Amino acid sequence: MNEKHDLEELMDRQLRGELDESETERLAELLDSDPTARREFVEHAQWDTRFAEVLREKDVEECADAMFAERTATKHERPPRITLPRLLLAVSAVVIVTLSVGLLYQQSSANRRIAEITKVNQRPMAEPPIAKITGLSGTLIWTGDRGRIVRDVTVGTKLPGGTIEGMAPDSWFELEFNDGSTVMISGTTMLTFADAGQKELRLREGIFSANVVPQPEGKPMLIHTRSALLKVLGTQFGVEANLTSTVLNVSEGKVRVRRLSDGSEVDVPAKHQVVVEDDRDLTPELVPDSVHHWKSRLHRGPGGYGKWLPATAQQSGSQKATPFVPSKYPKVTLYLLSIPVSRSDSSPVVVQPDSQFVVRGRLNKRARVHFGIGVRHVNGEFAGKFRGDLGDRQPISELDSEGHFEAVYRLGDFTLDPCVRDRKDKLAGKPEGLVLNAVWAFTHTGGPSGLEVTEVELIPPVRHAPQHDADGGNSKHKDTEGKR
């Protein structure tokens, strides 16, 4: 007996109440592993239930003809001739079905699994939306209820909840709840959101910001990270989370923070920040003044997008580009890397007019190194993405004998990144005066280019005399270097 025929017979016998314990377990295994089988089983049970209801209201002979005509018409088969003895047998089967739903399914774990499968598959698919997408760019994946995955979400799409994941450094997503509260993620970030009378979000990792309208009394917005629980009544703030810490920066209002490891709580007021770590004092501090000079510190460890390569005796630490396929261009492979800039626990790095970025690294062959930045407003809201390599002004990088290159990108040449141009009326027109979130670089040569970045430096338009910096070296600017 083949598996399909075996499944059909088991379903029929289950509805007639004829299966023993081992056969019930076999049916449960088949239903667990085959979504199509689950749908057929539910449809079969629903049809027999409708049959029983009609039998109670109509003459037996007329009911038989009508119901079997419906079933066979769906299957494009000739209706069989129904005799009264066969019909009475069917009626008995229906009675067994109605009893078995409440009693027989409780006899074993396999029966309970079958009952759960029937219940889940009969549940309405459509759920009321709790929010809508008001902005997005880059590669994103939304996973909804029951594991439904959507890769082509668009602005205006209404969502019932679920998980949104940014898959690349240039990913960005803005969500507006029904009450007007907005949340945003950027970069490689994963956020789960729900609202069953109280908004609840889970930030697994990445960068998140929000503008929350006043929430109902006793029902603050809850934000979970791996290390903290945030309670928000109504405010503007930004959060950065990773495996071991959570950094909160409050622009307006107040946020209550609980450290999960020991239950300690603290209220963080406007213009203050707190870092939640096991070995750190949970005390809010004033947000530090902004700086205008920044240099990456890739020797400190991994971070961002790409493969981190530690320093050796022959060369410094670097971030290596890895293959990336844009969702809208599946036949294109870029070699991409990114480096985070402003962390919430360090001085914000603000871009000034006439600043320039210097990118130093290595290539296996001559290539044009494409370069971009992500920026935000001081209150944490997303401000835009800009490219410094568009047009013909950026030359192909020249290499020395060891493959090293240095590329300079002037702020006056930066233009809005093509992936966010459809929202240019809502985003900043220039990066000047905005906080630098991240930088990224990539090559598009039709194959591996060996792109590695050893250092990125933001140089302000006016440089002061060298000063001794906190690391014991010389700094050419009075501002401290931002953390990577």
Which listed CATH number (2.60.120.1440, 3.40.50.150, 3.40.710.10, 3.40.640.10) goes with 131-286? 2.60.120.1440
d(CA 209, CA 63): 62
What pLDDT does residue 447 have?
Answer: 87
Domain 294-475 has CATH 2.60.120: yes
Residues found in the chain: 484
What does the pLDDT read at residue 477? 39
State residue 293's pLDDT score.
94
Can you tell me the distance from the alpha carbon of 107 to that of 441, in angstroms, rounded to the nearest whole number?
62
- In this structure, are residues 277 and 254 in contact, taking their beta carbons and an 8 Å threshold? no
What are the sequence ranges of the domains in the chain? 3-122, 131-286, 294-475
**Predicted local confidence at residue 328, as pLDDT:** 74
Describe the chain by its helix, strand, coil percentages, rounded to 5. Answer: 25, 35, 40
Residue 478: what pLDDT?
38
pLDDT of residue 198: 94
Contact indicator for 414, 272 with CB cutoff of 8 Å: no
pLDDT of residue 33: 65
The predicted pLDDT at position 59 comes to 43
- Integer Cα distance of 255 and 268 in angstroms: 5
Other Cβ atoms within 10 Å of 120 Cβ, number: 11
The number of beta carbons lying within 10 Å of the beta carbon of residue 37 is: 20
Closest CA to 236 of 253, 257, 214, 261: 253
Instruction: Give a three-class secondary structure readout of 21-38.
Output: HHHHHHHHHHHHHCHHHH
Please report the pLDDT score of residue 353 as a whole number. Answer: 92
The C-alpha angle 415, 207, 434, rounded to 5 degrees, equals 35
What are the DSSP E strand ranges found in 157-310?
Answer: 158-159, 162-166, 172-177, 182-195, 199-211, 221-224, 228-232, 236-241, 246-252, 254-259, 265-269, 272-276, 285-286, 294-295, 307-309
> pLDDT tens digits, residue range 224-259?
999 999 999 888 888 888 888 898 989 899 999 999
What's the pLDDT at 13? 75
pLDDT in tens, 77-134: 444 444 444 444 454 444 444 434 443 444 455 555 555 555 444 444 457 899 999 8
Same fold, 131-286 and 294-475: yes
Q: Cα angle vertex 413, ends 412, 419, to 5°?
A: 120
pLDDT value of residue 389: 87
Ranges of the chain whose pLDDT falls below 50 = 1, 47, 49-89, 91-107, 119-125, 464-484
What's phi and psi for 11, nearest 5 deg?
-65, -45
